Structure 1
Amino acid sequence: MPQSRLLVPLLLAVALPLSAAPTAHAADRVSVTELPALPGQTASVAGVNDFGQVAGSSSGNGPQHAVLWHRGKTTDLGRGNATAINRRGQVLGLEYLSGSGTYVQHPRIWHNGTTTDIAPSGSGWVSATAINSAGAVPMTYSTSPYGYHQEAASLWKDGRQQGLQLAGGPHLTISVINDAGLVAGSHLPMFGTDSHAFRCREASCGRLPSVPGTGRYAVSAANESGVVVGTRDNQPLRWEGEGVTVLPGGVGGVAANPQAINERGDIVGWTQDATGTKRATVWRGGRQVVLDVPGPAEALAISDSGDIVGWSSASGQRQAFLWRHGRVVELGTLGGAYSVPVALNNFGTVVGHTTAADGSYRAAKWRVLPTWPTTTR
Structure 2
Amino acid sequence: MTEKLLGAKNFIVVLSTIAIASISPISNAGWIITSIGRIPGYLGSATGINDLGQVVGYSFDHTTRFGSFHAFTTGPNGKDVSIPDILGGESTYISSINNSGQMVGSTSTDNRATQVFFFDAFITGANGIGITRLEATDGARLFPVAINDSGQVVGSSDDPRTGEDHAFITGPNGAGLTYLESPDGVPISVTGINNFGQVIGYSYPSNGPSYAFITGPNGVGFNYLESLVGSTIMPRAVNNSGEIVGGFHTPGSPFHSFITGINGIGFSSLVLPPEGSYGSYAYDINDLGDVVGVMHTEDLLSRSAFFYSQGVTTNLSLLPSVIAGGWTDLNPRAINNFGQIVGFGTNGSDQFPSPFLLTYVTEPLEQNPEMEIPLPEPGTLLLTSLGLLGFRFRHRKHRYLTKGRRSRQP
Structure 2 length as normaliser, TM-score?
Answer: 0.61
Equivalent residue number for residue 69 of structure 2 = 64
- The 3-state SS of whatever aligns with 2:155 is strand
Counterpart Cα distance in 2 of 1:264 and 1:362? 29
Cα shift at 1:332: 4.5
Q: Aligned-pair distance for 1:189?
A: 1.0
What are the superposed Cα offsets for residues 250-286 of structure 1, whole Å, 9 maximum, x if unpaired? Answer: 99977341x2x3323344557899xxx998766666x
Number of aligned residues: 311
CA distance in 1, matches of 2:313, 2:54: 31
Alpha-carbon distance in structure 1 between the residues aligned to 2:304 and 2:347 = 27
Structure 2 runs not aligned, ≥5 long: 1-27, 250-254, 364-372, 378-410
Return the alpha-carbon distance in structure 2 between the equivalents of residues 175 and 281 of structure 1.
21
- The one of 240, 262, 270 equivalent to 1:240 is 262
Cα deviation for residue 199 of structure 1 reads 1.6
Q: Indicate how the Cα distance of structure 1 residues 59 and 146 shifts in structure 2: closer, same or farther if over 3 A, else same.
A: farther
Aligned residue type for 2:211: H
Mapped partners of 2:287, 2:278: distance in 1: 22
Runs of at least 5 residues in structure 1 that lack an aligned partner in the other structure: 1-24, 294-309, 312-320, 322-327
One-letter amino acid matched to 1:342:
R
Where is the strand percentage greater, Structure 1 or Structure 2?
A: 1
Partner amino acid for 2:262?
E
Q: Which residue of 2 aligns with 1:55?
A: 56
Q: Which residue of 1 aligns with 2:394?
A: none
Equivalent residues of 2:34, 2:356 under 8 A apart = yes
SS in 2 for 1:205: coil
* Contact 2:74/2:81 (8 A) holds in 1: yes
| Cα gap change, 1:282 to 1:340, in 2 (>3 Å) | closer
Residue in 1 aligned with 2:97?
85
Alignment of 1:215-364 (within 5 A): 215-233=231-249, 234=255, 236-241=258-263, 243-247=265-269, 255-257=281-283, 259=284, 261-267=285-291, 269=293, 289-291=312-314, 293=315, 310-311=316-317, 328-332=319-323, 338-347=329-338, 349-364=340-355
2:212 is equivalent to residue 197 of structure 1: yes
For 1:281 and 1:365, locate their aligned partners in 2 and report how far apart those are by CA, in whole Å: 15
In 2, the alpha carbon distance for the partners of 1:238 and 1:253 equals 18
8 A Cα contact 2:303 2:330, kept in partner: no
Name the CA distance, whole Å, in 1 between partners of 2:323 and 2:138.
Answer: 47
Q: Does the 8 Å CA contact 1:252/1:270 hold for their aligned counterparts? A: no
Greater shift after overlay, 95-104 or 113-122? 95-104
Contact 2:281–2:295 (8 Å) recurs in 1: no
- Listed one character per residue, the Cα deviations across residues 5-41 of structure 1 (whole Å, up to 9, x for unaligned) are xxxxxxxxxxxxxxxxxxxx888x6353342324x66
In 2, Cα distance between equivalents of 1:270 and 1:360: 20
Kept after mapping to 2: 8 A contact 1:128/1:138: yes
Q: Contact (CA 8 Å) 2:291, 2:335: kept in 1 or not? A: no
For the pair 1:44 / 2:45, whether they are aligned, the reply is yes
Per the alignment, in what secondary structure is the counterpart of residue 246 of structure 2? Answer: strand
Larger relative helix fraction: 2
TM-superposed CA distance for 1:113, in Å, is 3.7
Instruction: Indicate the SS of the match to 1:264.
Output: coil
Q: Alignment identity in percent?
A: 21
Q: Return the alpha-carbon distance in structure 1 between the equivalents of residues 334 and 145 of structure 2.
A: 14
Q: Tell me the distance in 1 between the aligned counterparts of 2:138 and 2:100.
A: 29
Corresponding residue SS for 1:181: coil
Q: Is the 8 A contact 1:35 1:69 kept in 2?
A: no
1:130–1:177 contact (8 Å) kept in structure 2? yes
Q: Structure 1 residue 140 and structure 2 residue 131: aligned?
A: no
- Kindly state the Cα deviation for residue 98 of structure 1 after the two structures are TM-superposed: 4.2
Displacement of 1:131 in angstroms is 1.0
Instruction: Quote the offset at 1:348 in angstroms.
Output: 6.5
Shift in alpha-carbon separation, 1:349–1:365, aligned structure 2, 3 A: farther
**Residue number in structure 2 paired with 1:22:** none
Letter of the 2:266 partner, please give it: V
8 Å CA contact 2:345–2:356 kept in 1: the answer is no
Assess, with a 3 A threshold, how the Cα gap between structure 1 residues 123 and 48 changes in structure 2: closer, same or farther: same
**Contact 1:254 1:267 (C-alpha < 8 Å) held by counterparts:** no
d(CA) in 2 for partners of 1:122 and 1:88? Answer: 30
Contact 1:155 1:164 in 2 (8 A): yes
Q: TM-score, normalised by structure 1?
A: 0.66
User: Within 2, Cα distance between the matches of 1:283 and 1:241?
Assistant: 19
TM-superposition CA deviations, 1:57-93 (whole Å, max 9, x none): 2443665332212242423243311111111112221
Higher deviation after alignment, 75-84 or 116-125? 116-125
Match of 2:122 among 108, 118, 141: 108
Note if contact 2:305-2:329 (Cα within 8 Å) is conserved in structure 1. no
Amino acid at match of 1:166: S
| CA-based RMSD | 4.2
Within 1, Cα distance between the matches of 2:326 and 2:239?
36
Tell me the CA shift for residue 361 of structure 1: 2.1
Select the residue among 120, 129, 135 that pairs with 1:119. 135
CA distance in 2, matches of 1:103, 1:189: 28
The one-letter code sitting in structure 2 at the alignment partner of 1:76 is P
State the alpha-carbon separation in 1 of the partners of residues 358 and 259 from structure 2: 32
Residue deviations 1:140-180 (CA, integer Å, cap 9, x gap): 22333463x53x22212232112323258775221110111
The CA distance in 2 between the partners of 1:122 and 1:53, in whole Å, is: 34
Find out whether 1:157 has 2:171 as its counterpart: yes
Partner of 1:33 in structure 2? 35
Distance, in Å, in 1 between the alignment partners of 2:335 and 2:341 is: 4
Report the alpha carbon displacement of residue 183 of structure 1 after superposing the two structures with TM: 0.7
1: distance between equivalents of 2:346 and 2:303? 23
Post-superposition Cα deviations, 1:114-151, rounded to whole Å, max 9, x if no partner, equal 2222132225453322111111111222333463x53x
